[in-house]
Amino acid sequence: MNYSQNIAKLQPSATIAVSTLAKKLAAEGRDIINLSAGEPDFDTPAWISEAATEGIAKGRTRYTASSGMPELRRLAAEYMTEGTAHEADPARVVVSAGAKQSLFNACFCLFGPGDEVLIGSPYWTSYPEMVTLARAAPTPVAGNESRQFLLTPADLERAASPAARGLVISTPSNPTGAVYSTAQLADLAAWAKERGVTLICDEIYREIYFGPGARAPGVLDLDPEAVGHVVAVNGMSKAFAMTGWRVGFSYTTIELAMKMGALQSHVSLNAATPSQVASVEGLRRAQPDGGDRKRMLEAFRRRRDLVSRLFDELLPGFPYVKPDGAFYLYFRVDAAFDDEVKTAGALCSRLLEEAGVAIVPGEAFGDARYARMSTASSDEDVEAGVRRMAATLAS
Ligand code: PMP
Ligand code: GLU
């Protein structure tokens, strides 16, 4: 069978692949601690799930507008622009089947053959694939390791060719947990505006933030006059523990939102209607009732502290990026390389085999010296996972 050039370079998601393998081994009876995919270990808050069930009982089971139910678009606009100088304009929002689809829609509508798209590296594994599916060329750009890999305009200037059309970053970052300050974001946005580059800012971990304030700085916090073309992306998966519901959203210009909505109207139409009903409830209560989300955030912060302490104590030869948000620890593993094990991929296979711990090799994020463990598991699993890794790596 001949396949299209569209998928000539396509690889399955490495994060999903490791976690699927870990689940398979566990189902076969192996003692596996799965610290691979980043998925909150909490159930969706009951009051959100109940809203969906109620909605189904009342027949809210039909198609919606492709860009989402008007009420959800309004609430998402308010959620994303709260406390900013932007008016909450629902026409700028497209609701999609997860932030993943929002990001894909944006890349597919904005980039094409001959375009270069800069990607902050280490990057979330799907960004280069999405850019490549649009037949554009991804260029990973790493910031300085000593600055948590955060990018500066100088880094971008060095890497960009005249064909640069886009810049994709995540803040808080997956995989590092590093967070851009408002001033740092403003610098990147000013560079992008100057170069006519669209800035796609993935803020899916915005609420999972350990710094001051309720959420990490975002691109919509910046002075609208000072930024050019931006797309802010967020969703329900992480902060609301709703990964399987598949609801994400984007905020951008009305024109781009219309194009993304049109694309989606042919590809998948709307995010599942009961999921949208549940998301309305989640966002409606988001401001007054932060109870469940606060509890989850506290757990992520506690595990960040726990894992940092354990690494300092048990794995001093394995430096890590100090996470200020999200729920990962991104650490160097090259101290454990030997004649047989020369890459993070090989080392992670060894850890899975010998220690029964599943983590994601840095190749998935653009750096084979690193690996990423998720802290979105119970405190016990996180601690046992690090102890098992330490025993294997030290042997
Ligand atoms: N962006 C980042 C950085 C992520 O880690 C994830 C996790 N899957 C997503 C986007 C996609 O989230 P979802 O599609 O579940 O909304
Ligand atoms: N975003 C999570 C991760 O990076 C979930 C997996 C995925 O969607 O790729 O592990």
pLDDT at 231: 98
Burial degree of 152 (CB within 10 A; 0-12, 13-18, 19+): middle
- Interatomic CA distance for residues 113 and 135, integer angstroms: 5
Indicate the Cα dihedral angle 46, 50, 53, 59, nearest 10°. -150
Answer yes or no: do 278 and 302 share one domain: no
Taking the centre of ligand 1 as the mean of its atom positions, its distance from the CA of residue 237, in whole angstroms, is: 7
Answer yes or no: do 308 and 230 share one domain: no
Ligand 2 atom 2: the closest Cα is on which residue?
A: 38
pLDDT in tens, 91-117: 999 999 999 999 999 999 999 999 999
Q: Is the confidence at residue 229, as pLDDT, over 60?
A: yes
pLDDT at 290: 61
Taking the centre of ligand 1 as the mean of its atom positions, its distance from the CA of residue 170, in whole angstroms, is: 10
pLDDT at 291: 83
pLDDT in tens, 286-345: 654 568 888 999 999 999 999 999 999 999 999 999 999 999 999 999 999 999 999 999
Mean pLDDT of 179-207: 98
- Interatomic CA distance for residues 54 and 377, integer angstroms: 30
Answer yes or no: do 261 and 336 share one domain: no
Answer yes or no: do 233 and 146 share one domain: yes
pLDDT in tens, 61-95: 999 999 999 999 999 999 999 999 999 999 999 99
% of the chain beyond a pLDDT of 90: 91
Ligand 2: residues within 6 Å at CB?
A: 13, 15-16, 37-39, 124-126, 174
- State the closest ligand 1 atom to the C-alpha of 202, by its place in the atom list counted from 1: 1
* CA nearest neighbour of 173 among 231, 128, 120, 107: 120
Domain's final residue, options 284, 302, 320:
284
Q: Is the confidence at residue 19, as pLDDT, over 70?
A: yes
> For residue 311, which amino acid is it?
F
Task: For residue 395, name the pLDDT band (cuts at 50, 70, 90).
Answer: confident
pLDDT at 15: 86
In a mutational test of the pocket of ligand 1, which residue from 20, 180, 237 has the highest number of ligand atoms less than 8 Å from its CB? Answer: 237
Domain's final residue, options 234, 253, 284:
284
In a mutational test of the pocket of ligand 2, which residue from 18, 35, 103, 124 has the highest number of ligand atoms less than 8 Å from its CB? Answer: 124
Mean pLDDT of 231-244: 97
Number of domains in the chain: 2
Does 313 fall in a domain?
yes
- State the closest ligand 1 atom to the C-alpha of 101, by its place in the atom list counted from 1: 14
* Residue 13 belongs to domain with CATH number: 3.90.1150.10
**How many CA within 13 A on the CB side of residue 200?**
30
Domain's final residue, options 263, 284, 305:
284
Range of the domain at 135: 61-284
Higher pLDDT: 137 or 286? It is 137
Burial degree of 19 (CB within 10 A; 0-12, 13-18, 19+): buried
Does 56 fall in a domain?
no
pLDDT at 288: 44
pLDDT at 239: 93
pLDDT at 287: 56
pLDDT at 294: 87
In Å, what is the CA distance from 132 to each residue of 119, 139, 192, 203, 309? 12, 10, 21, 22, 39
Does 52 fall in a domain?
no
To the nearest whole number, what is the mean pLDDT of the chain?
Answer: 95
- 137-142 vs 116-121, strand pairing mode: parallel
pLDDT at 281: 95
% of the chain beyond a pLDDT of 70: 99
